[in-house]
Structure 1
Amino acid sequence: MDQFHLMNVFVATGEEASFARAARRLDLSPAAVTRAIAALEELLGVKLLQRTTRHVRLTEAGQRYLDDSRTILASLEEANQAAAGINAAPRGNLSVTAPVLFGKLFVMPGIVQFLDTYPEVDVSAWFLDRVVNLVDEGIDVAVRIGHLPDSGLKAARVGQVRRVLCAAPAYLDRHGVPANPADLSRHTIISANHMSPRVEWKFGAQDNPTTVRLHARLTVTSNDAAITAAVAGLGICRLLSYQVADDVAAGRLRILLAEHEEPPWPVHVVHREGKFGSSKVRYFIDLLVAHLRAHPYVNSSIVAAGETMN
C-alpha cells in the first residue's frame, strides 16, 4: 500500500483522535482507516496509536511520527504545487501574527495592499502581545521584536527599534528632566504590560546593565493607555520607539536619557516555509519585508533632531 496514503490516513486519525471522524474527513470507510493504520504500524514495526472503546490516543512514537508526517506531507504538497504551476497564482488562506500596536501600524497596511493585489487570498491576522508558536498554532508568517532563539524557523531582519523613556513637555516643565537613571526615583512612573507596581528598568550594555528599581504610580496592561497617560502629563513611561514615534514627532512627548538606553532590539519577519514554499507566503513576505525595511520608524532613530532631552 502507498506509504504516503498510509501517512495521510494516520495524520487524519491522530488529529481527529477517532477512526470514525478520520474516515469522514477522508471520505473513507472506518474499516479502510483501520486497515491503513494497521498496515503502517506493521511497516514501521512500532505501535502508533493506543485504542480503547471510546478513544484513540497517540503513543510517544506516534506523536513523533505525526509531527514528521505533517512536515513530509506538507513538503509533498508544496512540490506538487510547484510542479503544476499553481505557485504562479497565490490563493488560499494566509495567517499572520505580530504584536498588537506594531501589527496595527505597520503590518495591516501591507495586508491590505496584499489583499488588493491578490483577490484569491484570504488573510487571518492575529495581533497579540505574546510570542505565538508558528508550528503549534498553524501560523504562516510572524513579526518578532527582540533577539530570536535558535529554531528551525527562517527569518529576515527588517530593522530595529529602541526601548525609550519619554514624558510630555508639560510634565518635564513641572518636575524637571532626569539627568541619569538614578534620578527616576524622584519622578512619577507609568508602567505598561504587567500588573505589578514594582518596576525594574535596565540601562546600558546588555552584558553589564544598570538596573533601577522603581515604584509605578500608574500600572496599565495596554501600551496605548500608557501613551495616553504620558501625553496627558502624568509621568514618565518606557515603551518601544515605534509606539511613541508619532507623538515624539509631533512634540507631544520627549525622549529622555537616550545615552543610557539598552542596545536596539532587532525586528524580524519569521516564517516556517519549506523547501519549495507556497506563492502566497513568498509574495507576502517579499511585500512585508520591503515595506518594513523602507519605514523610518523601523529603520532609524525615531525622529529628527531635538528628540532627546538630557
Structure 2
Amino acid sequence: MDRLTSLTAFVRTVELGSQAAAAAELGLSRTMLGRHIQALEQHLGVRLINRTTRKQSLTEAGLAFFERCSAALHELEAAERSVSSLQAEPRGLLRLNAPMSFGARHLAPAIAAFTELHPKVRVELVLNDRVVDLVEEGYDLAIRIGRLADSSLIARRLAHCRVVLCAAPRYLERCGAPERPADLARHNCLLYSYAADRDQWSFRLGPVEETVRISGNFVANNGDAVVAAAVAGQGVVLQPTFIVGEALRTGALVRLLPGWEASELAIHAVYPHPRSLTPKVRSFVDFLVERYGGNPPWDAGIG
C-alpha cells in the first residue's frame, strides 16, 4: 500500500478520534482505512493502536510514532503550501542575463520599476555580450538581441531594434559624409566584435540593396565603447538606437545616409523550457513587453 496514505490514515485517525471520521475525511471506506493502519503496523512490527468496540487508544510505540509522523506530515503540508504560493505570486530569486549596454541603459531601470511592483522578487542581473548557456549557468531568463539561432529555447519578442549609421560632426567636418553605402569603404568604420557580419554592412533603399565591405582602426566587444569612440570623432558606427539614441538627440552624433535602412533586429526574452515560466519569469516578461512594446522609449525623438 502507499506508505504516505497509510501514515496520513494513522495520524488523522488519532487526531479525529475514530477511524470512521478519518475515513470520511480522506475519502476512504472504513475497511480500507483499517487496512492502511494494519499495513503500517505490519511494516513496523509493532501495534500502534489498541482497539475495542467502543474506543481506541495509542500504545506507547503508537504515541511516539504519532508525534514524529504528525510533525512530518504538517511539514509536508507546509512545503506544499509554499510551492503553491510560489505558483500564485511572483517571488524568489530571478537570475537574469543580458547584453552589457542594453542591460545597463534600459534593463536596470526596468528592474527597479518591476521590483517596486513585486517586492518579493529579488533579481540577480549578470551583464555580458557573449551568449550564455542558460541551463548550464543557472539562469531563469536571458535577453537576446539580434537574429536568434535555432535552439531549444523558448523566445518571446519584446521590441523591435532599429540599427542606424552615424558619426560625430567633427568627424564629418574632417572626412565628409558618405552619400551612399559604397562610400563607407573609404571611411574609418568602428566595429563591434560580436556582430554577425562584422566586416560588411548592408543597407536597403526601397527595392535597392547594397552591401559594402568596411574596415577601421577600432574594434570593441561592447557597443558603448564603440559609440564613445564615435562621439570622440574617431569614425562611423552602425549601432542600435537603444545605444545611440541619446547621442542623436543631443547632436553628439548625426545620422548618415537618410533613407537607407540597415536590417532591423529584434529584442527577445528567452528561457529554457515552458516549465521555466514560473510566476516571477512570466510576470517579468509581461512587464517588459508592456514597457518596450510598440514604440520603444529609446527611439523617441530620433526620426
Residues 154 and 274 of structure 2 are in contact (CA less than 8 Å); yes or no, is this contact kept in structure 1? Answer: no
Alignment match, 1:166: 166
1:244, 1:120 → 2: CA distance? 34
Alignment match, 1:114: 114
- TM-score with structure 2 setting the length: 0.64
Distance apart, 1:125 and its partner CA: 0.8
Distance apart, 1:273 and its partner CA: 4.9
1:216, 1:267 → 2: CA distance? 27
Distance apart, 1:253 and its partner CA: 0.6
- Shift in CA distance, 262/81, structure 1 to aligned 2, threshold 3 Å: farther
Three-state SS of the structure 2 residue aligned to 1:215 is coil
Alignment match, 1:267: 267
- Shift in CA distance, 150/130, structure 1 to aligned 2, threshold 3 Å: same
Residues 191 and 220 of structure 2 are in contact (CA less than 8 Å); yes or no, is this contact kept in structure 1? Answer: yes
Distance apart, 1:183 and its partner CA: 1.0
- Shift in CA distance, 91/109, structure 1 to aligned 2, threshold 3 Å: same
Letter in 2 for 1:303: G
- Shift in CA distance, 183/124, structure 1 to aligned 2, threshold 3 Å: same
Structure 1 unmatched ranges of 5 or more: 3-79, 306-310
- The correspondence of residues 148-159 of structure 1 with structure 2, limited to 5 A, is 148-159=148-159
Alignment match, 2:25: none
- The correspondence of residues 1-310 of structure 1 with structure 2, limited to 5 A, is 84-193=84-193, 199-204=199-204, 210-275=210-275, 277-293=277-293, 296-297=296-297, 303-305=301-303
Alignment match, 1:8: none
Deviations 1:61-111 (A, max 9, x none): xxxxxxxxxxxxxxxxxxx67983432333221111111111112211121
2:258, 2:266 → 1: CA distance? 17
Residues 202 and 210 of structure 1 are in contact (CA less than 8 Å); yes or no, is this contact kept in structure 2? Answer: yes
Alignment match, 1:33: none
Three-state SS of the structure 1 residue aligned to 2:290 is helix
- TM-score with structure 1 setting the length: 0.62
Alignment match, 2:54: none
Three-state SS of the structure 1 residue aligned to 2:173 is helix
- Shift in CA distance, 130/221, structure 1 to aligned 2, threshold 3 Å: closer
Residues 140 and 273 of structure 1 are in contact (CA less than 8 Å); yes or no, is this contact kept in structure 2? Answer: no
Letter in 1 for 2:134: L
Superposition CA RMSD, Å: 3.1
Structure 2 unmatched ranges of 5 or more: 3-79
Alignment match, 1:21: none
1:129, 1:144 → 2: CA distance? 9
Three-state SS of the structure 1 residue aligned to 2:109 is helix
Residues 248 and 254 of structure 1 are in contact (CA less than 8 Å); yes or no, is this contact kept in structure 2? Answer: yes
Deviations 1:171-209 (A, max 9, x none): 2233221011121122222223369xx93323339xx96
In our comparison, the structure showing a higher alpha carbon Rg is: 2
Distance apart, 1:294 and its partner CA: 5.7
Deviations 1:102-144 (A, max 9, x none): 1112211121123333333221111111222222222111211
1:214, 1:150 → 2: CA distance? 28
Three-state SS of the structure 1 residue aligned to 2:266 is strand
Residues 101 and 222 of structure 2 are in contact (CA less than 8 Å); yes or no, is this contact kept in structure 1? Answer: no
Three-state SS of the structure 2 residue aligned to 1:259 is coil
Residues 202 and 263 of structure 2 are in contact (CA less than 8 Å); yes or no, is this contact kept in structure 1? Answer: no
Residues 98 and 142 of structure 2 are in contact (CA less than 8 Å); yes or no, is this contact kept in structure 1? Answer: yes
2:285, 2:194 → 1: CA distance? 32
1:223, 1:147 → 2: CA distance? 17
Deviations 1:244-278 (A, max 9, x none): 00000111111112433332112112223535842
Deviations 1:208-263 (A, max 9, x none): 96432233123333322221221122221221221100000111111112433332
Alignment match, 1:6: none
